[in-house]
Amino acid sequence: MFLTSLPGVGPISASVPECCFNPVLLPLTGLVSRDVYLSAQHAVISQNETLHGCIKEALKMAGVDLDVVMAAPGFMHLLAAAQASPVVATVPRRIAERYGPLLGLEVSPLPFALSLPPVNMVWAAHADSDPANAWLRQQVRAVLVDTATSTGMRADG
């Protein structure tokens, strides 16, 4: 069950992952194939001090087993690792497209479908029907859509 089925929770964007890598350190170009992606070493996000990462279950469902050599608590840490070492960092599209090029990284869609839960906004259940709170939630959603549009990013992740 995804969190969105609970009161006081609503999706604000899809979570579509892409991969980032330094083309100087990894001789890859353009779209990364499944075989190349799977043969690379990876940096993943992990909040539990393991190399399994937060996307372990999603990767398992996709039939993917990665050679994970690094885990970090934040997406920017992963991008920094990809900039400085020959690893592939798999991060949300919004982060990949905004920060990857600034760090000299190539950005490529994943070569397989990966189902991740959406990014959610959470609020107190008692505020669910509060007009002021509903207005504020709508403003947050509008800013995210507007930011994606103004920066040329796709609104789906």
CA distances, 119 to each of 20, 82, 135 (Å)? 20, 24, 19
Q: Residue 88 — very low, low, confident or very high, per pLDDT cuts 50/70/90?
A: very high
Q: Do 69 and 146 fall into the same domain?
A: no
Q: Does 156 map to a domain? A: no
Q: Residue 4 — very low, low, confident or very high, per pLDDT cuts 50/70/90?
A: very low
Q: Do 126 and 70 fall into the same domain?
A: no
Q: Do 54 and 126 fall into the same domain?
A: no
The overall pTM is greater than 0.85: no
pLDDT score for 10? 76
User: What is the chain's mean pLDDT, rounded?
Assistant: 82
Q: Do 38 and 99 fall into the same domain?
A: yes
| Contact in structure between 67 and 37 (CB atoms under 8 Å) | no
Residues 16-57 have pLDDT tens digits of 889 999 999 998 877 899 999 999 999 988 877 676 666 777
* Range of the structural domain that residue 137 is part of: 3-10+118-151
